[in-house]
C-alpha cells in the first residue's frame, strides 16, 4: 500500500505523521512535541520507532484482536447448560445452583446469562394465562395449609384412556406428593389424602382445593372425620391455588415435556423418581436455593429452638 493510500484511508495515521513531522521539522525535541499534541512520551516513541523501521506503513492502525481467543467455558459445560435451558427452561440463578449441586461446576449467573444471550435463549416464549397479580403469601409452619389440585395428563393417554395426576403441595415448605389415578372421583380424592398423610413428615391442619366435582361435600365430610379443615378457592380464581398450579407447569416443563413413557406403569415409576428429585434435589428460587427437604429441616429446627426459648423453666422445687 502506498504512502498516499495509507494517509487517505487512516486519519489516525495522518495524526501520527503530524507528530513526527512536528518533532523533525520544528521542535527537534520530544518533550515540547508531546506537550503540544497532548500525548505521552511512551506513545510518541512507540510510533516513532515504528516509523523509522517501516516508514509510513508502520503508522497504520492495526487490529487489536488477539491472535488466539480462549473460550470462556469448556465445550461440554456450554452444551450441558444449553441443553438444560431448552429442556427445563432454568433461569441463570437456578441453573447456577443446579450445576453447583449436581455437577460440582461453579458457573456464575452472569456467565450463564451471557451464554443464553449469545445463543438467543435469554428470552423464552411463554404464554401468560391470566393477568391478575394477587398478593403472595406463605404460611409460617409446615402442614398449616396444603394445596391440592388435579392435572389432566394429555401426553400419557394409553389405549385412549384418560389419567389424572393428583398433586398436594405444602404451602410453607413446597413439599409435594404426586399420584396418578384413572378417574378424578371423590373416592380417589379421599384415597389421595390418605397417601398424603402417610407421605408428609408432618401433620396437616387444612387442605385447600378448587371447586372441582372431586372436592365436593363428601370430600369435605371425609376431611372433617380426619380432623382437617377444608377451604375452597373462589370460582374462576386459580391464582388462589397458585403454588400447586405453578408446580403443574414445572411438571410439564421438566418431566412430562422431556420424558417418553412406554406404559402408564412406567410413567408412575418415573413420577415417583421425579417427586423425590423435586423434594430432595431440585433447588427452589422461592426457598432461596434450598430444596423443600432442606427448608423443612430448617423450619423444624427454628420452631423447636423458638419453642424451647419461650417455654417457662421449672425450678428444682417444682420438679421435685
Q: Mean pLDDT lowest for which of 1-10, 192-201, 225-234, 249-258? A: 1-10
14, HSE (Cβ side, Cα atoms, 13 Å) = 7
Residues 94 and 214 in one domain: no
Residue 139 maps to a domain: no
Q: Contact at 8 Å (CB) between 59 and 9?
A: no
- 216 lies in the same domain as 164: yes
Same domain as 175, residue 284? yes
CA distance 14 to 7: 5
190 shares its domain with 281: yes
- 260 lies in some domain: yes
Q: Are residues 197 and 280 in the same domain?
A: yes
Three-state SS at 106: coil
Instruction: Identify whether the C-beta of residue 96 lies closer than 8 Å to the C-beta of residue 108.
Output: yes
| 80 and 203 fall within a common domain | no
Backbone angles phi, psi at 105, to 5 degrees: -105, 130
Q: Is residue 289 situated within a structural domain? A: yes
pLDDT digits (tens, 9 = 90+) for 191-200: 999 999 999 9
State how many domains the chain has.
3
With respect to residue 99, please indicate whether it lies within any of the assigned structural domains.
yes
Query: What is the spatial distance between Cα 44 and Cα 104, in angstroms, rounded to a whole number?
Result: 50
C-alpha–C-alpha distance, residues 258 and 253, integer Å: 7
pLDDT-derived band at 82, boundaries 50, 70, 90: very high
**Rounded to 5 degrees, what are φ and ψ at 209?**
-135, 175
Domain annotation covers residue 13: yes
Q: In the structure grid, which three cell numbers stand for residue 142, read together?
A: 409446615
Q: Would you place residue 222 in the very low, low, confident or very high pLDDT band (cuts 50, 70, 90)? A: very high
DSSP state of 38: T
Per the CB < 8 A criterion, the answer to whether 173 and 299 are in contact is yes
84 shares its domain with 152: no
Mean pLDDT, all residues of the chain: 85
Q: Is the pTM of this model over 0.75?
A: no
**Can you give the CATH number for the domain in which 196 is found?**
3.30.420.10
Same domain membership, residue 200 and residue 102:
no
152 with 109, same domain: the answer is: no
The predicted-structure confidence for 13-40, as pLDDT tens digits, reads as follows: 889 989 999 999 999 999 999 999 999 9
Residues spanned by the domain of 52: 3-59
Does residue 169 share a domain with residue 101? no
In a domain, 137, yes or no: no
Query: pLDDT tens-digit profile of 151-190?
Result: 998 755 566 788 999 999 999 999 999 999 999 999 999 9
Residues 166 and 258 in one domain: yes
On whether residue 286 sits in a domain, the answer given is: yes
Note whether residue 246 is domain-resident: yes
Q: Are residues 253 and 194 in the same domain?
A: yes
Pick the range with the lowest mean pLDDT from 82-86, 129-133, 237-241, 313-317: 313-317
Selection from 293, 275, 259 nearest residue 180 by Cα: 275
Amino acid at each position: 500500500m502506498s504512502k498516499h493510500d495509507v494517509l487517505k484511508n487512516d486519519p489516525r495515521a495522518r495524526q501520527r505523521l503530524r507528530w513526527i513531522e512536528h518533532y523533525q521539522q520544528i521542535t527537534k525535541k520530544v518533550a515540547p512535541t508531546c506537550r503540544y499534541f497532548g500525548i505521552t512520551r511512551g506513545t510518541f516513541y512507540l510510533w516513532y520507532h515504528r516509523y523509522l523501521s517501516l516508514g509510513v506503513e508502520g503508522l497504520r492502525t492495526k487490529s487489536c484482536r488477539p491472535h488466539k481467543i480462549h473460550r470462556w467455558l469448556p465445550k461440554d459445560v456450554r452444551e450441558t447448560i444449553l441443553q438444560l435451558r431448552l429442556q427445563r427452561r432454568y433461569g441463570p440463578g437456578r441453573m447456577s445452583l443446579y450445576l453447583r449441586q449436581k455437577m460440582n461446576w461453579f458457573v456464575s449467573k452472569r456467565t450463564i446469562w451471557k451464554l443464553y444471550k449469545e445463543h438467543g435463549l435469554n428470552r423464552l416464549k411463554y404464554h401468560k394465562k391470566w393477568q391478575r397479580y394477587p398478593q403472595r403469601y406463605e404460611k409460617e409452619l409446615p402442614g398449616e395449609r396444603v394445596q391440592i389440585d388435579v392435572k389432566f395428563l394429555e401426553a400419557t393417554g394409553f389405549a385412549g384412556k384418560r389419567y389424572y395426576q393428583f398433586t398436594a403441595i405444602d404451602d410453607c415448605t413446597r413439599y409435594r406428593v404426586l399420584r396418578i389415578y384413572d378417574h378424578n372421583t371423590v373416592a380417589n380424592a379421599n384415597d389421595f389424602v390418605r397417601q398424603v398423610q402417610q407421605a408428609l413428615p408432618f401433620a396437616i391442619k387444612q387442605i385447600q382445593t378448587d371447586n372441582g366435582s372431586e372436592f365436593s361435600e363428601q370430600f369435605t365430610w371425609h376431611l372433617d372425620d380426619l380432623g382437617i379443615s377444608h377451604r375452597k378457592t373462589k370460582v374462576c380464581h386459580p391464582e388462589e391455588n397458585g403454588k400447586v398450579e405453578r408446580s403443574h407447569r414445572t411438571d410439564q416443563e421438566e418431566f412430562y415435556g422431556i420424558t417418553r413413557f412406554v406404559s402408564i406403569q412406567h410413567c408412575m415409576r418415573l413420577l415417583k423418581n421425579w417427586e423425590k428429585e423435586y423434594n430432595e434435589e431440585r433447588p427452589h428460587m422461592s426457598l432461596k436455593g434450598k430444596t423443600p427437604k432442606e427448608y423443612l429441616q430448617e423450619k423444624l429446627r427454628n420452631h423447636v429452638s423458638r419453642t424451647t426459648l419461650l417455654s417457662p423453666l421449672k425450678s428444682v422445687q417444682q420438679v421435685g
